[in-house]
Structure 1
């Protein structure tokens, strides 16, 4: 069964006035499962990892159909991933229902400089014992994410989880305004680590590295190398 981001992608494409043509590959053909060109498909490497935490992706309009989107990778790894399109003027009722589900304790993952100090937390230690952490990730460009944070009043009742990683982003498929910004999958891996889903965190990191490696190999017309560091690390974790 397609995961939440794949379903959102299908719905977004159905609303498109014209076909979305991703660059690369023969006539733009890409695998529907991993979004890579067929010669570099990595569907067979998709890991299966159980997690205590869940992920809720709020995705800017065209994020689900971008081949370089890494929220897709989170949905590959974390079974309890929920994905919703974001719009300023309307809210998906299913999103509101998800955020009100008593099994979850939502956390909006965003820098503390944009939130009231009283909302900011640095870990999930205060999660009630009968609830599971649900990390809300604002998936879009940095400008889009800031807009989503400011203009989503239904998120105002939840704590803001502010991450303070020591490393710089390794993601190379898109340029960011600053090296301090991380791609969605990197943020997801940090959240899983905070929730003590260590195996899932490490696996998502390794899975992202393999995806990035294969994406660039395809772009540069180089064959897949199953013996490189990214593939070996993922295989060890699997």
Structure 2
């Protein structure tokens, strides 16, 4: 089994400093403490890492890391260079700031272009030419509800001098069409999957998308009293295995 990653460590830290147990829908479910799925649906043995030239930094709103429904951990499951921190309005984590300012990285905040502050650069695609001196792209994702994400962006001035990475309408529209969703909303892992694809790693993006789909079905089955589609988890596992195999062959 792969070792613990940044979100696992942040989960343990956040749980340790909590004054009371965190409760959420399905609170009576006996969960694996790594993937937070029901123990009998644990996916930890299926977790693999891709070879990526990209990095991610999750800035998580308060107790977001404690939520079993949070998909940010899925990014860290697959992408080795992933960092995670709890957001603080008044005292930004010093280690987080040091990573953002690390000369090996070129950070981009993934956020809609319409929220850009004055003179903030906006990119729809990221290629090696966008990262000066061969720096590694570091995608910063604000992980929380949409309202929380807006709050984090507006009240974090250290993000305002960084370029935004905003997906084009064509990219998001084609993704929504592929999902067949009536109301197009992205989970954190889906945002990262789009970022991987838009930054030149479509096979890794497809692997993360498949991992997310397996997570969603396993999560719903673990907390539902209704019988879900028979064989759905097995089918999604097969899709994930195939996507991961393709990603590893195309690294």
TM-score, normalised to structure 1, is 0.90
- The answer to whether the aligner puts 1:153 opposite 2:157 as a matched pair is yes
Residue-by-residue CA offset, 1:135-166 (whole Å, 9 max, x unaligned)? 00000000000001101011112101111311
Structure 1 residues 78 and 34: CA distance shift in structure 2, 3 A: same
For residues 89-168 of structure 1, the aligned pairs below 5 Å read 89-116=90-117, 118=119, 119-125=121-127, 126-164=130-168, 165-166=172-173, 167-168=175-176
Is the partner of 1:97 in helix, strand or coil? helix
Is the partner of 1:30 in helix, strand or coil? coil
Shift of 1:218: 1.7
Question: How many angstroms apart in 1 are the aligned matches of 2:75 and 2:153?
Answer: 20
Which residue pairs with 1:4 in the alignment? 6
Q: Spell out structure 1 runs of 4+ moving beyond 3 A.
A: 169-172, 221-224, 226-229
Farther off after superposition, 162-171 or 73-82? 162-171
Which residue pairs with 1:175 in the alignment? none
TM-score, normalised to structure 2, is 0.85
Counterpart contact for 1:108–1:135, Cα < 8 Å: yes
Unaligned stretches of 5+ in structure 1?
173-177
For residues 197-216 of structure 1, the aligned pairs below 5 Å read 197-216=201-220
Is the partner of 2:134 in helix, strand or coil? coil
Counterpart contact for 1:55–1:82, Cα < 8 Å: yes
Unaligned stretches of 5+ in structure 2?
245-251
Is the partner of 2:185 in helix, strand or coil? coil
Q: CA RMSD in A?
A: 2.2
Is the partner of 1:28 in helix, strand or coil? coil
